[in-house]
Amino acid sequence: MDRLIYTALSGMNASMERQRVIASNMANAQTVGFRAELIDQRPVTIDGETLNVRAMQRAEVRGATMTAGEMVRTGQELDLFIQGDAMMAVQAMDGSEAYTRRADLSISPTGALVNGEGRPVLGDAGPITVPLGARATIAPDGVVSVTDPAAPDQPPVEVGRIKLAGWQGSPISKGLDGLFRVEGGGILPADAEAQVITGALEQSNVKPTEVLVEMIDAQRLFDMRSKLIATARDCDQSGAQLMRLG
Amino acid sequence: MPTSALQVARTGLEAQDSRMRVIANNLANVGTTGFKKDRANFATLAYQDARVAGQRSSGETAYATGLNLGTGVAVQSTSQIVTQGALNTTGNALDLALDGDGYFQVELPGGQLGYTRAGNFTRSGEGQLVTQQGYIVQPAITVPEGASSISVSPDGIVSAMVAGDTEPAELGQLQVASFANPGGLRAIGDNFLVETAASGAAQLGAGGELGRGNIRQGMLEASNVNIVEELVDMIECQRAYEINSKMVSSVDEMLRNANQTL
């Protein structure tokens, strides 16, 4: 019998994988600053003398959709919405510089400025720290200044500037921690033009209707592929019957 | 794995369920004096089946793309939104509100210190300033019997006319506690918060001093829950739950189809 069933099976596997990616995007429809994963499906053909009909399906997550999410006002002083394409530099678990759009900032008990995932925010000169008890405010250009409540008449003191980096021109990809990094290592240069809006957060860029349509699409394709296996079985049966007659 | 899409969708359902609980708690406390609403923070779960972009595919070449399959979402934390609630005038001399940052300090049973924004205090049988539960406000203030015209200044000085005197007597000073990270305080119910490693230690001071709020006598701070906002969040949460449940039925349908056709 033809190996049609294996080709169809690879398609079914790819559909299932795609459904899983869609499920993950759907589940993260409310994660602040989330970037939806893109799945890529491609045929894998084996070159040879035979007729090239057996193109196996292979599905992979190839990157993330980089469109901006909706902005929502939260009124919290340390919530930031990054305008344009820029990304905020944070320190990843391994100490390296990584990028994220998630900017729901807070001050840790040690005075470090961290985002909602607890990653320290990087400035021009490493992680930004705020003296304990001081009140931090962030300007539209990312400059963090603090005022000492003990000296309210003193002007605010600048403690650093959040590194906002443009990624256009440098390939970046999402790592296993959900943070973006420059492919093959390296860091992005700071973008002096980048601006933030305080008191607002960026929603996930997953669009519920889009993701539902994708889900139905993946489901139907899976059904069609399983039907192929059923058809192959029917063909096989008729073949076997023909043999018996002879 | 055929089941994993189901598992991923399940994490979405669970996270929305937790968020709904946070919203329900906010709505339930819309009339609670000094209540601060919570916000649920979502975070992506670990990525799986990993191949990091740039990883070597052979001696000379590297993969141009990564292969990261997300495993879903979880409610990572809830953070307290410490915006000021509206101040409602009650006219009661022992109703105190904080206009600005800070907390009243109260000794909980067992000696632990609790912090609260609810300043609906009363006098105990011994004349001490206590909360509705009878917990003594720290530092303790004793109002002598027969004292009248109790007044509390914005910086916390409590004075009253004591029977027999012509001048008001100073009874003590209320302290306002502030924290490095007030969002890190742990709520223990009954309007009380306790300090944690994340909040840092309490720093006490007079009202209005070092950024602490002024004490307003005869007023109570209302809950900072905005009903309209919560209702919108509730609908958003419900819809997100719905689409995740659609994913469960979609994957179920796929598996059923495979079972029937094959």
Per-residue pLDDT, B1: 44
User: Which percentage of chain B shows pLDDT scores above 90?
Assistant: 44
Indicate which of A24, A39, A214, A221 best probes the interface with B, i.e. most B CBs within 10 Å of its own CB. Answer: A24
Cβ atoms of residues B64 and B53 within 8 Å? yes
Min CA distance, B14 vs chain A (Å)? 10
Residue A198: its pLDDT value, please?
93
User: Within 10 A of A70 (CB to CB), how many other CB atoms are there?
Assistant: 12
Q: pLDDT tens digit string along A53-77? A: 667 777 667 678 888 888 988 888 8
Torsion of CA A9, A13, A15, A20, to 10 degrees: 160
The amino acid at residue B104 is F
**From the candidates B1, B3, B14, B44, which should be mutated to test the interface with A, based on the most A CB atoms within 10 A?**
B44
Cα distance between residue B164 and residue B151, in whole Å: 18
The owner of tokens 């059904």 is A223
Q: Contact A75/B83, CB-based, under 8 Å?
A: yes
B208 at interface of A, judged by CB pairs closer than 8 A: no
Tell me the whole-structure pTM to 2 decimals: 0.79
Nearest to A62 among B65, B79, B240 (CB): B65
CB pairs under 8 A between A and B: 185
Chain segment A175-226, per-residue pLDDT in tens: 878 888 888 788 898 888 999 999 999 999 998 889 999 999 999 999 999 9
Query: So what's the pLDDT on residue A110?
Result: 82
In this predicted structure, which of A2-6, B2-6, B74-78, B143-147 has the lowest mean pLDDT? B2-6
Residues of B in contact with A132 (CB under 8 A): 180, 200
B60: Cβ contacts below 8 Å, ≥ 6 apart: none
- What are the tokens at A112? 């470090």
Delimit the domains of chain A by residue range: 1-66+215-245, 70-203
Interface of B with A in 95-134 (CB under 8 A): none
pLDDT at B13: 94
The per-residue DSSP string of B162-207 comes to PTT-SSPEEEEE--EEE-S-GGGPEEEETTEEE--TTT---EEE-T
Q: Of the candidates B20, B19, B15, B17, which has an alpha carbon nearest to the alpha carbon of residue B71?
A: B15
Question: Could you tell me if A147 and A154 are in contact, meaning their C-beta atoms sit under 8 angstroms apart?
Answer: yes
Say yes or no to pLDDT of B40 above 60.
Answer: yes
The Cα–Cα gap between A171 and B242 comes to 36
Q: Is the pLDDT of residue B63 over 90?
A: no
CB contact under 8 A, B12 and A17: no
Please give the pLDDT value at position A100.
93
pLDDT for res B59: 63
* Ranges assigned E (strand) in chain B: 38-44, 47-51, 67-70, 73-80, 87-89, 96-99, 103-107, 113-116, 122-123, 129-130, 137-138, 148-152, 157-161, 169-173, 176-178, 186-189, 192-194, 203-205, 214-217, 219-221
Residues 6+ apart with CB under 8 A from B163: B144, B146, B147, B148
> Nearest residue of B to residue A16 by CA position?
B2
- Contact residues, chain B, for A22 at CB < 8 Å: 5, 247
A16/B5 touch (CB, cutoff 8 Å), yes or no: yes
The confidence score (pLDDT) of residue B118 equals: 92
pLDDT at A49: 65
Q: Give the mean model confidence (pLDDT) for residues B27-44.
A: 91
Predicted confidence at residue A108, as pLDDT, reads 82
Has residue B66 got a pLDDT over 70?
A: no
Cβ-based contacts of B197 with chain A (< 8 Å): 109
Band (B2; pLDDT cuts 50, 70, 90): very low
Each residue of A151-176: pLDDT tens digit? 777 888 899 999 999 888 888 888 87
Contact A16 B2 (CB under 8 A): yes
Arithmetic mean of pLDDT, B18-47: 91
Q: Quick check: B54 pLDDT over 70?
A: no
- pLDDT tens string B153-209: 999 999 998 877 788 888 999 999 988 778 788 889 888 999 988 777 888 888 888
| Alpha-carbon gap, residue B46 to B24, rounded angstroms | 28
Given an 8 Å threshold on Cβ–Cβ distance, is A20 in contact with B69?
yes
The two three-digit tokens of residue A5, written as one number: 């069933």
Task: Determine whether the interchain pair A30/B52 forms a contact, defined as Cβ–Cβ distance below 8 Å.
Answer: no
pLDDT for B20: 95
Query: Would an 8 Å CB–CB cutoff place B235 in contact with chain A?
Result: no
Q: Are strands B137-138 and B219-221 parallel, antiparallel or unpaired?
A: unpaired
pLDDT digits (tens, 9 = 90+) for A81-91: 999 889 999 99
Q: For residue A17, which of B214, B104, B113, B2 has the smallest C-alpha distance?
A: B2
Q: Helix, strand or coil for residue A123?
A: strand
Write down the pLDDT at residue A201: 92
What residue spans define the domains of chain B? 1-82+226-261, 86-222
CB contact under 8 A, A27 and B65: no
Confidence of residue A47 (pLDDT cuts 50, 70, 90): low
B201 contact A CB<8A: no
Cα maximum dimension of chain A: 104
Interface probe for B, chosen from A4, A6, A30, A217 (most Cβ of B below 10 Å), is A30
What ipTM does the predicted assembly reach?
0.74
Average model confidence (pLDDT) across chain B: 86
Q: Coil, helix or strand for B49?
A: strand
Of B44, B211, B262, the CB nearest to A28: B44
**Position A1 pLDDT exceeds 50:** no
